[in-house]
Amino acid sequence: MGSGANMVTASIITIGDELLIGQVIDTNSAWMAQELNKAGVWVQHRAAVGDVWDDIWQALDEESKRSNIILITGGLGPTADDITKPLLCEYFGGKMVMDQSTLEHVTYLFEHVFKRPMPLLDRNKKQAEVPDVCTVLKNERGTAPGMLFEKDGKVFISLPGVPHEMKGLMTDEVLPLLKQRFAMPHIGHRTLLTAGVGESFLAEMIKDFEEVLPASIKLAYLPNYGMVRLRLTASGDSETIVENELSNQFRELKQLVKEYLVVDEDIPINALVGRLLKQDNKTVSTAESCTGGYIAHLLTAFAGSSAYFKGSVVSYDNSIKKNVLHVKEETLQTVGAVSEETVKEMAKGVLNIMQTDYAVAVSGIMGPDGGSEDKPVGTVWVAVANKENTETKKFNFRFDRQRNIELTAINALNLLRLFIIQNSTT
């Protein structure tokens, strides 16, 4: 999606060697981009730089040529490697001054919130020093304030790198300020999720639809874990016109992919399964071998999941399958742990133990070793069951251990979703 004449654009610069070497994963940029997009700001560039003066300076120069708003996150702590603040002071031609309200806030945090017994160190007080050419943005959640600068009609905002603090500042200070400052266009999205079809086959199915899409609407393919999300995006001054046009196109898209449609909104499959269970007032439990509790983790990722999730048996060792889930010794001896019979017995076992309406059971070989000729790495059996029926499916994944675990969990949840729909009374 290109930037139109009235599009308000942003760049995000993340600062820190730890991000570049992969020691810390940059989640800040993704969250900031989502929130800016909701507000009508199009994030058109993201840059990551280390704790190097010249690199940060150059990034500020380059991004200010590119965007209306430049957001900087990181490098604002109390230690010597945090060079962002002195650099910004020089970049915007200011001098450091003590901001009284920030100093009072830092003192309050140390004395009353952190309850530190020792007096405030000079390096802590230094957190309250800011360039005299900035507008100070109060950080309710920490000691480093946000700072807003302006130069040649561009707005620069520096935020701490701690995600909890950055989010507080974005929500309380930055987004309201940007909405006041800029006339934002409306940006609309429609997203659907498909399963059981590859990206290229999907593209072939909707080729004619894609070719005649209006220029104002962009279609994106977002494949992940054997599922593909399709997203339509449009922007314009009139919210009504944008939303109507998106709704019309989305209706047509849904019709074209209805055979593979999982849900017509941007929610993950674990949230959808939780919703289906809640609607039917049903419960689920899991018996997990190869996923080590990951399916249970996904099902409990949302507040209110106790309404539908009761518990899990992580039967990693065969003795647990046998002694807790009552998988027959004979089954394990003859067909092995990774088999249709074993997952069926695991599912029935956990149904009885947990007394739930549904159960999911998985057993497989995640790798990198442990495979054999008839059961190579990536072989997985999944069972979903209620008291009357059991359904099974065999998968053959071909990736590394982590991806095989994630694919197993997502595919098991999709099998459960279909099973719930088939057995739903509502």
Q: According to the model, what pLDDT value does residue 2 have?
A: 45
Cβ neighbours around 154 below 10 Å, total: 17
Whether residue 2 lies inside any domain: the answer is no
Q: What is the mean pLDDT of residues 201-211?
A: 96
Mean pLDDT taken over the chain:
93
CA distances from 214 to 16, 192, 219, 229, 245 (A): 41, 19, 10, 20, 9
Q: What is the mean pLDDT of residues 361-386?
A: 94
Q: Residue 171 has what DSSP assignment?
A: I
pLDDT reading at 258 higher than 80: yes
pLDDT reading at 9 higher than 70: yes
Per DSSP (E only), the strands in 352-426 are 358-364, 379-385, 390-396
Residue 235 sits in the same domain as residue 384: no
Q: Say which residues have a Cβ less than 8 Å from residue 386's Cβ, sequence separation at least 6.
A: 351, 357, 358, 359, 419, 423
DSSP code per residue over 180-224 = HHS-PPEEEEEEEEEESS-HHHHHHHTHHHHHTS-TTEEEEEEEE
3-class state of residue 14 by DSSP: strand
Q: What is the mean pLDDT of residues 48-58?
A: 95
3-class state of residue 105 by DSSP: helix
Residue 157 sits in the same domain as residue 14: yes
Contact indicator for 260, 67 with CB cutoff of 8 Å: no
Q: Say which residues have a Cβ less than 8 Å from residue 100's Cβ, sequence separation at least 6.
A: 128
d(CA 277, CA 372): 38
User: Domain containing 402: what range?
Assistant: 269-423
Residue 303 sits in the same domain as residue 407: yes
CATH of the domain at 354: 3.90.950.20
Identify the CA nearest to 88 among candidates 122, 33, 136, 27: 136
Q: According to the model, what pLDDT value does residue 121 have?
A: 66
Identify the CA nearest to 92 among candidates 55, 132, 65: 132
Residue 352 sits in the same domain as residue 213: no
d(CA 38, CA 86): 32
Q: What is the mean pLDDT of residues 76-89?
A: 80
Residue 73 sits in the same domain as residue 173: yes
Query: What is the pTM for the complete model shown?
Result: 0.80
Q: What is the mean pLDDT of residues 373-394?
A: 96
Residue 220 sits in the same domain as residue 285: no
Q: Which one of 244, 263, 282 terminates a domain?
A: 263
Q: Say which residues have a Cβ less than 8 Å from residue 405's Cβ, sequence separation at least 6.
A: 290, 291, 292, 294, 366
CATH of the domain at 244: 3.30.70.2860
Q: According to the model, what pLDDT value does residue 77 have?
A: 64
Residue 114 sits in the same domain as residue 129: yes
pLDDT reading at 81 higher than 80: no
Residue 262 tokens read as: 């999982």
Q: Which one of 129, 161, 181 terminates a domain?
A: 181
Q: pLDDT per residue over 295-334, tens digit each?
A: 999 999 999 999 999 999 999 999 999 999 999 999 999 9
3-class state of residue 179 by DSSP: helix
Whether residue 20 lies inside any domain: the answer is yes
CATH of the domain at 87: 3.40.980.10
Q: According to the model, what pLDDT value does residue 109 have?
A: 77
Q: What is the mean pLDDT of residues 407-416?
A: 96
Residue 124 tokens read as: 């802590």
Q: pLDDT per residue over 103-158, tens digit each?
A: 888 788 777 766 667 666 667 777 788 999 999 999 999 888 999 999 999 999 99
Residue 208 sits in the same domain as residue 244: yes
Q: Say which residues have a Cβ less than 8 Å from residue 415's Cβ, sequence separation at least 6.
A: 360, 382, 384, 391, 393
pLDDT band at 426 (very low <50, low <70, confident <90, very high): low
Number of folded domains that form the chain: 3
pLDDT band at 3 (very low <50, low <70, confident <90, very high): very low
Residue 169 sits in the same domain as residue 277: no
pLDDT reading at 244 higher than 80: yes
pLDDT reading at 1 higher than 80: no
Q: Which one of 263, 295, 317 terminates a domain?
A: 263
pLDDT reading at 419 higher than 50: yes
Residue 167 sits in the same domain as residue 194: no
Residue 28 sits in the same domain as residue 148: yes
Residue 301 sits in the same domain as residue 417: yes
